[in-house]
Structure 1
Amino acid sequence: MNRGRSAGPENRRALIAAAREVFAEGGFAAPLSAVARRAGVGQGSLYRHFPDRIALALAVFDDNITDLEALRDRPDARMSDLFDEISEQAIASTALIDMISTERHDPRAEELGARVSAVVDAVLVRDQDAGRIRASVTGGDVMLAVSMLAFLLSRTDHDERPAIAERARRIFREGFATDPDVSA
């Protein structure tokens, strides 16, 4: 039964939830038809709410970025906390980092990437000021490390991802910290 416009908000929520799952399983390039099927709506409904893949991804990943921004706003948050949060998000789904890197020239993806970079830069400065991370480390270095991790995780079986992420966190701490024995 077609419920018309009254189903709009419910359909939108179902599409975002379905896209989160489909992107986690199949990456950013997963078929949008799979998202519509999982949400229990037609593709027409999907495209009414989200005219393209990036519009859908922005809705899905806005929560991820909001979580990172909340972590940034904690005065006690360190780069290791941020890297841990990004790692956990990447273990669940590498699609966010995938989208930021593959669609880097799309202004909407650029805006999302800029939000992530602003979080990284703020936490990095705080850790550098506290002497936990070498002054020569840049936000670009951190973003490169995150991108490399996401790339590797996207090609790793889901059940092996936590161990790979833990190894990456160790390498990150040892590579960026002023003193590897101090948690960066």
Structure 2
Amino acid sequence: MTQPSDPDRRRPPNDGPKAAARNRAALIAAAREIYAQQGLDAPLSAIARRAGVGQGVLYRNFPDRAAVATAVLEENVRQIEQAAAVEGATFEDVLGVLTWHLTESAAFIGLLHAERAGPRSGDLRERALDLSGRVERGLRGHLPEGHPLGGADDLMLAVAMVSAAATGPTRADRSRRALAAWRLLDVEVGPVRPHEG
């Protein structure tokens, strides 16, 4: 049975590119939340549901699982790079932003352990290694001369150790454990917060 048309009822306007940008941002935010709860192997359908869009919209924005994970990881890394680019930023400041991302994003922790990825995840592994290298460059650019983490592999080994400690059911638990791990390594960390800029 067809509904009678109501001349006063109009279709909502098509926002075109604005809707596409909103959908993409919603998908990335949803993926970050779902990955934090379920890890990188979470079903893509759960991400679409959390974002409030259909799976077709998800696949228009991200052709596969690797593209979704890469978009989330890219945002994490971009914030760390932006924090590192702030004039007058210190190593402790950048570590604070990095630590915030460790407590917020299981996907980001997976990035920092990319070398463990199996051969099946080739493209994602290569992309993750590139992103991990960008994190290291952002941190190393502020590492004071003579710092205990100045050795060739020491910095990212310490980050990987702290990321492994950043576990717990709540953000507060994860943050507490990450900061405790930094203290055990005798490394000072600035305020644990996202980069605002």
TM-score between the two structures when normalised by the length of structure 1: 0.76
Q: Any unmatched runs of 5+ in structure 1?
A: 176-184
* Separation (CA, whole Å) in 1 of partners of 2:94 and 2:100: 10
Structure 1 pair 84/90, CA: closer, same or farther in 2 (3 Å)? Answer: same
The count of residues paired between Structure 1 and Structure 2 equals 168
Pairwise CA RMSD: 2.9
Shift of 1:93: 1.6
Shift of 1:37: 0.7
* Separation (CA, whole Å) in 2 of partners of 1:31 and 1:153: 23
Counterpart check, 1:108 vs 2:127: yes
Partner of 1:39: 51
Partner of 1:30: 42
* Separation (CA, whole Å) in 2 of partners of 1:83 and 1:151: 16
Asked if the contact 1:28/1:99 (under 8 Å) is kept, the reply is no
Q: Any unmatched runs of 5+ in structure 2?
A: 1-10, 189-197
Structure 1 pair 140/4, CA: closer, same or farther in 2 (3 Å)? Answer: farther
Counterpart check, 1:117 vs 2:117: no
Partner of 1:181: none
Runs of 4+ deviating beyond 4 Å: none
* Separation (CA, whole Å) in 1 of partners of 2:79 and 2:152: 18
Asked if the contact 2:136/2:156 (under 8 Å) is kept, the reply is yes
* Separation (CA, whole Å) in 2 of partners of 1:39 and 1:96: 20
Partner of 1:179: none
Counterpart check, 1:166 vs 2:179: yes
Counterpart check, 1:52 vs 2:71: no
Partner of 2:192: none
* Separation (CA, whole Å) in 2 of partners of 1:84 and 1:146: 12
SS of residue matched to 1:123: coil
Q: For 1:7-62, what per-residue CA distance to the aligned partner results, in whole angstroms no more than 9, with x for missing partners? A: 43332222112112212222323222110111122222212211222211222232
Counterpart check, 1:140 vs 2:140: no
Shift of 1:119: 1.0
SS of residue matched to 1:28: coil
Match 1:74 to one of 51, 69, 86:
86
Partner of 1:180: none
Counterpart check, 1:86 vs 2:109: no
